Amino acid sequence: MITLSSDFGSPYPAAMRGVILQASDARIVDVSHEFPRQDVDAAAFWLREILPYFPPAVHCVVVDPGVGTERAAIVIRAGEHALVGPDNGVLLPAARELDDAFEVFEIDYENPESITFHGRDVFAPAAATVHEAGIDDFERDDQFLLTETFVDLSFPEPTEREDGVTGEVLVVDDFGNAITNIPGAYLEGHFGSDVTVNGVWAPARRTYGEVGEDSRVVTVGSHGNVELAVNQDRGDERFSVHPGSRVRLRWT
Amino acid sequence: MITLSSDFGSPYPAAMRGVILQASDARIVDVSHEFPRQDVDAAAFWLREILPYFPPAVHCVVVDPGVGTERAAIVIRAGEHALVGPDNGVLLPAARELDDAFEVFEIDYENPESITFHGRDVFAPAAATVHEAGIDDFERDDQFLLTETFVDLSFPEPTEREDGVTGEVLVVDDFGNAITNIPGAYLEGHFGSDVTVNGVWAPARRTYGEVGEDSRVVTVGSHGNVELAVNQDRGDERFSVHPGSRVRLRWT
Amino acid sequence: MITLSSDFGSPYPAAMRGVILQASDARIVDVSHEFPRQDVDAAAFWLREILPYFPPAVHCVVVDPGVGTERAAIVIRAGEHALVGPDNGVLLPAARELDDAFEVFEIDYENPESITFHGRDVFAPAAATVHEAGIDDFERDDQFLLTETFVDLSFPEPTEREDGVTGEVLVVDDFGNAITNIPGAYLEGHFGSDVTVNGVWAPARRTYGEVGEDSRVVTVGSHGNVELAVNQDRGDERFSVHPGSRVRLRWT
């Protein structure tokens, strides 16, 4: 199985599918091609949330603002999974979540047909090669070179305060829910109460349905983090936040 | 075969795919993840139109504004098909279309990992279980309990009048065509003539191509209902209607 | 393998998937359902760029502003590939790219269920029939009639000038890159220099990454043509062009 993730929209991912299907009978499963454009942090977040739900697979990821520059291409083996993508940190949070004892390999790729479409010319062929060689074994192909040097990426940590906690918005999902870096555990003991978010009042509840339609709510999303939401509307707009915004939660 | 339908956009459906692939080798086919947000009626309409074109399959559907509340989760067996989703009526028109002698089972699910993502934690696992157990046989698993109690849903009926018919817009498709609840048979005898729609003149024609580019047309869509359209433009805007709008057709 | 391409968005392609799956166990692969609406030229361009990356397959294409009129439905055999779609030229550039010795067959289809959804009622069934009969052999089914008459389509040629070249924008991709009909070879000898585009200065570079963020750049895209781009922003907006816009490149 090979999964595909990118910020390409349509139709560029189709060329990646074609290239893989020329080289492999693998089942191809799309994770998303709608990741926010060239936003390495957002893609890294979603991959960490989603890939652990998959059975062993080769995960081919292209969110790559540095395409055409000197950045390396890598494969990471993490447990029974392999992740293929650019060396810009996008794979690291997911790799660490899948298996902390991951190994990183640099891909010694030939000059690609296009300097701007490594998804088609570098990453899709590498994913097919890893899949055909086997996730346990692919480094027998000497284009994959074990390395200790790679770009890491981690999400910012929230800061606990006497009367609350300060974090930031990591991503906004398609529903407009603003997902923060604040672990949901911080809300325990406050469900049913009101809190303030950047000075604005909002009820802390276990789920959207506990507040009226169109009402703000601070809750814990399916990813386990604190989320700023509005029941049946967009939380990002109603809390005036976007990725990177500071979020000051204060217990009241 | 397992089909997936939701209003999730991207990337949440990927977690559902992963969960299913952990439990089953079923072929997974997307129906849509772009159903209008939390619009149970629109999803019910599309499912009724589309699912009958599929071979026997388990259809997993998540359009679920009541997630996190007490609403039940159900499986419906309708002929050779099974439909899995929330007990909010979204499955009923399709079930009835597939086989009027359908049976409804409540899913006795364990506490899900997330209170807000039953697609991943309740419906996808249930769909995989139904698929692996077999559509004819899944109730041997005692998590599926035959029930006579479920939320039903039906579409409003149009009202015939002396000089026409009054109905409403059920959904607007991606092309901007406003699809009404008025059966296409009402237009028979009027093709080639003009009618009025909420007082505005428009030609009744068998297809868009019979009017000039950018011209309004009242026609019968692929679903068999009367549709308000504009050749190569959006009918909803040009007829000033949206889902729920009253549509008064008058023969002239 | 059957690939699907359309301008349908969602959820109409699902009915095509269902129809095919009733008739065939073929693997179904989406190319795109987000082609610009009813834009035959744009779809023809993308198909020519993408289909050659696929292994032998039946490619079912529905970008069909003439649906419901008298336009024919055709299958083209081009090398080991078959292309199924409307006779409006959309298949021709891809067919010619796959194999210049292509053959065209008219489909003698029965009256479809819907006059406006030939994707579901004509093209999907025809694609399944071609797949099941075999790409080498499908014309044994007498619904496929070899023909010399079909609508052709070719892209405009650029005009070389003493001090540059004049072409036009063929399509704008999801990133906002404006893809022209000017072969990338014209930029050889100018990389590293500045050029003007419709009188506006811009650097010619081999890749986006060679200019600063938010800067205009004239480059060669993955399709081999000259592209007007902005590093991490939309080239179409910053160069004030859209499909069909004249593009005058002048060396400086």
Query: What digits encode the pLDDT tens for the residues C98-133?
Result: 999 999 999 999 888 888 899 999 999 999 999 999
| Residue in chain C lying closest to A28 (CA) | C29
Spatial CA neighbour of A17 closest among C240, C4, C181, B147? C4
| Nearest CA-CA distance, residue A56 and chain B, Å | 9
| Nearest CA-CA distance, residue B135 and chain A, Å | 24
Q: Are residues B32 and B131 in the same domain?
A: yes
SS3 A18: helix
Task: State the Cα–Cα distance between residues C27 and B1, nearest whole angstrom.
Answer: 12
Which CATH number fits the domain that encloses residue C205?
A: 2.40.30.90
Place of tokens 């072969």: C183
Subunit contact A50:B18, Cβ cutoff 8 A? yes
Spatial CA neighbour of B9 closest among B30, B29, B40, B27? B30
Query: What digits encode the pLDDT tens for the residues B225-242?
Result: 999 999 989 999 999 999
Residue B73 pLDDT > 90? yes
| Nearest CA-CA distance, residue C232 and chain B, Å | 22
Residue C153 lies in a domain: no
Q: Are residues C94 and C189 in the same domain?
A: no
What one-character DSSP code corresponds to residue C126?
Answer: H
Question: Considering its fold, how many domains does chain A have in total?
Answer: 2
Task: State the Cα–Cα distance between residues A95 and A52, nearest whole angstrom.
Answer: 9
pLDDT tens, N- to C-terminus, chain A (252 residues):
999 999 999 999 999 999 999 999 999 999 999 999 999 999 999 999 999 999 999 999 999 988 877 899 999 999 999 999 999 999 999 999 999 999 999 999 988 888 889 999 999 999 999 999 999 999 999 999 999 999 999 999 999 999 999 999 999 999 999 999 999 999 999 999 999 999 999 999 998 878 999 999 999 999 999 999 999 899 999 999 999 999 999 998
Place of tokens 């938010």: C214
- What phi and psi values does residue B105 have, to the nearest 5 degrees? -125, 135
Query: What digits encode the pLDDT tens for the residues B196-229?
Result: 999 999 999 998 878 999 999 999 999 999 999 9
Residue C204 lies in a domain: yes
Please list every residue in chain B whose beta carbon sits closer than 8 Å to the beta carbon of residue C113.
222
Residue C154 lies in a domain: no
Asked if residues C104 and C147 have their Cβ atoms less than 8 Å apart, the reply is: yes
| Residue in chain A lying closest to C206 (CA) | A115
Q: Are residues A163 and A122 in the same domain?
A: no
Residue C69 pLDDT > 90? no
Query: What digits encode the pLDDT tens for the residues C124-152?
Result: 999 999 999 999 999 999 999 999 999 99
| Nearest CA-CA distance, residue C32 and chain A, Å | 5
Q: Are residues B19 and B100 in the same domain?
A: yes
Residues 79-118 of C with CB under 8 A from B: 113-117
Q: Are residues A135 and A189 in the same domain?
A: no
More confident residue, C208 or B215: B215
Subunit contact A174:B8, Cβ cutoff 8 A? yes
Which CATH number fits the domain that encloses residue B97?
A: 3.40.50.10790
Task: Work out the burial of residue A92: count CB atoms within 10 Å of its CB; fewer than 13 is exposed, 13-18 middle, 19 or more buried.
Answer: buried
Residue A152 lies in a domain: no
Q: Are residues A110 and A66 in the same domain?
A: yes
Neighbours of chain A (3+ CB pairs under 8 A): B, C
Task: State the Cα–Cα distance between residues C186 and C167, nearest whole angstrom.
Answer: 11
Query: What digits encode the pLDDT tens for the residues C148-205?
Result: 999 999 999 999 999 999 999 999 999 999 999 999 999 999 999 999 999 999 999 9
Residue B153 lies in a domain: no
Distance of CA A52 to the CA centre of its chain: 11
Confidence bin at C208 (pLDDT 50/70/90) = confident
Interface test with B, best of C115, C121, C122, C123 (most B CBs within 10 A): C115
The DSSP secondary structure of B118-179, one letter per residue, reads HIIIIIHHHHHHHHHH-TTTGGGSTTEEEES------PPPPEEETTEEEEEEEEE-TT--EE
- By the CB < 8 Å criterion, does A175 face chain B? yes
Q: Are residues A170 and A136 in the same domain?
A: no
Q: Which of B49, B222, B232 sits opposite C116 (nearest CB)?
A: B222
Q: Which residues are within 8 A (CB) of C44 and not within 5 positions of it... i.e. 6 or more apart? A: C89, C90, C91, C92, C93, C94, C153, C155
H-assigned helices in chain A: 12-23, 40-50, 92-98, 118, 124-133, 235-238
Q: Residue C175 is part of which domain span?
A: 159-251
Residue B154 lies in a domain: no
E strand map for chain B = 2-6, 28-32, 58-62, 73-78, 81-86, 103-107, 144-147, 159-161, 164-172, 178-183, 194-197, 200-203, 216-220, 225-230, 246-251
Q: Are residues C105 and C14 in the same domain?
A: yes
| Residue in chain C lying closest to A23 (CA) | C55
Q: Which of A11, A21, A121 sits opposite C55 (nearest CB)?
A: A21
The pLDDT, as a whole number, for residue A182 is: 97
The pLDDT, as a whole number, for residue C70 is: 85
| Nearest CA-CA distance, residue C196 and chain A, Å | 22
Residue A82 lies in a domain: yes
Please list every residue in chain C whose beta carbon sits closer than 8 Å to the beta carbon of residue B173.
12
Asked if residues C106 and C125 have their Cβ atoms less than 8 Å apart, the reply is: no
